[in-house]
Amino acid sequence: MFRRSKLTWSTAADLARFLNEMRDGSPSLSAQGYQRSGAEAAALKATESALMQAECASGRLGTFVLQRDRRIIACVQVDERDDDGRVALFSNAETHPAYQRRGTFWRHLAMPCIRVFSRGSFDRLEAVTWTYNRKGIPVYKRFGFRAVPDTSLLLENYLPTIVKHPATRSYFAGHDYLRYLTNTRSYGYDSLDGDGLRVFQYRWEHAGEALEVLVDWERRQICCIERDDWRVWCYTRSPDPFVAHYEVENRGEHSLVYCIHKCNGSRETTRMQSVLPGGTSRGDMYVADGHDWATAIFELGGELVPFRLKREARDGAAPRVCERPAMGRRIG
């Protein structure tokens, strides 16, 4: 009944017709609704040739369309860019008004695209929508997108980094990472603050097992992984000097033995340490001058848990020195 495909010449005319009908007939329900009206809007009318020309643009991964009974009822455009990693940018998402309350776009088009790009070589996803998309924004968040503070409405999704992390693979082998991702707030920015550290929260719960991952969105890197057996924090505490702070909490019933392999041009390994059940071990790691990146690999009972560390925050985020996040409670 539903057919998902990538835009080609055979569907370009149908897509142009669909986009123009959305712009003219349902502007308040369309991603094009924020664009100007009148003569300027008329000049932006979609055409078959213009769509296919844009499809050949550098960085275009594809425009994906959803058809029912051979008629397009939804679409989304995906582009690639480099920005602290490889990014897949979702934009210009459209759904026919008759299908907007049914979840059709997400079940049959958006979720399959999220799965494909999350399991690929991308580091994160981003989405562009409009501020008053009150029906769509909560659903974006339900599937891993988080609203970035101090932006008009930039949504970032770190599922690609999270699902490929070595410490989460065993959990996702038995628990679907989209189906069991718990809901976050419906509206507003999603950053949570914990004594100076600003993070996006991702949490999964199913069949009595839980996983939580916190992402330092200012540096676009995982800073905490919490499983049923342990929790590890590792994040940039100070950019100058470059200092990373770490904490290892043993949540299991037996002693936890660990060491840290620090990599930043050369490799250093700390001595083995033991953490009693319910206990926490913490410390700081100093990164040699001249390095903007480092990797700390925690070896926990033979399991390797890496953290990628960046010295500076993203452009536009004020430099800061992080205090230790409070342990024994979840941020937020």
* pLDDT at residue 264 in the model: 77
For residue 74 the two structure tokens come to 């939804």
Calculate the average pLDDT of the chain. 87
Question: Class of the 161-177+188-310 domain?
Answer: mainly beta
Residue 208, exposed/middle/buried by CB under 10 A (0-12, 13-18, 19+)? exposed
What percent of the chain has pLDDT above 70? Answer: 87
Residue ranges of domains in the chain:
2-122, 161-177+188-310
Local structure of 219: helix, strand or coil: coil
Residue 117 φ/ψ, nearest 5 degrees: -80, -25
What percent of the chain has pLDDT above 90? Answer: 67
Q: For residues 18 and 96, is the Cβ–Cβ distance under 8 A?
A: yes
CA distance 296 to 309: 7
CA distance 156 to 317: 15
Q: For residues 74 and 96, is the Cβ–Cβ distance under 8 A?
A: yes
Q: 116-139, pLDDT tens digit by residue?
A: 999 999 999 999 877 667 777 888
Alpha helices in the chain (DSSP H): 9-25, 39-43, 48-55, 104-105, 111-119, 137-142, 159-163, 169-172
Residue 276 has pLDDT above 60, yes or no: yes
Q: How confident is the model at residue 195 (pLDDT cuts 50, 70, 90)?
A: low
Q: How confident is the model at residue 55 (pLDDT cuts 50, 70, 90)?
A: very high
* DSSP string computed for 71-139: EEEEEEEEEEEESSSEEEEEEEEEE-GGGTTTTHHIIIIIHHHHHHHHHTT-SEEEEE--TT-TTTHHH
User: Which stretch of 92-101, 228-237, 276-285 has the lowest confidence by average pLDDT?
Assistant: 92-101
CA distance 33 to 157: 24
pTM of the model: 0.89
Quick one: fold of 2-122?
A: Aminopeptidase (3.40.630)
CA distance 164 to 172: 9
Task: Return the top range by mean pLDDT from 36-45, 101-110, 195-204, 213-222.
Answer: 213-222
Residue type, 17: R
Q: 142-186, pLDDT tens digit by residue?
A: 999 998 888 877 899 999 999 999 999 999 999 999 999 997 667
Residue 43 has pLDDT above 80, yes or no: no
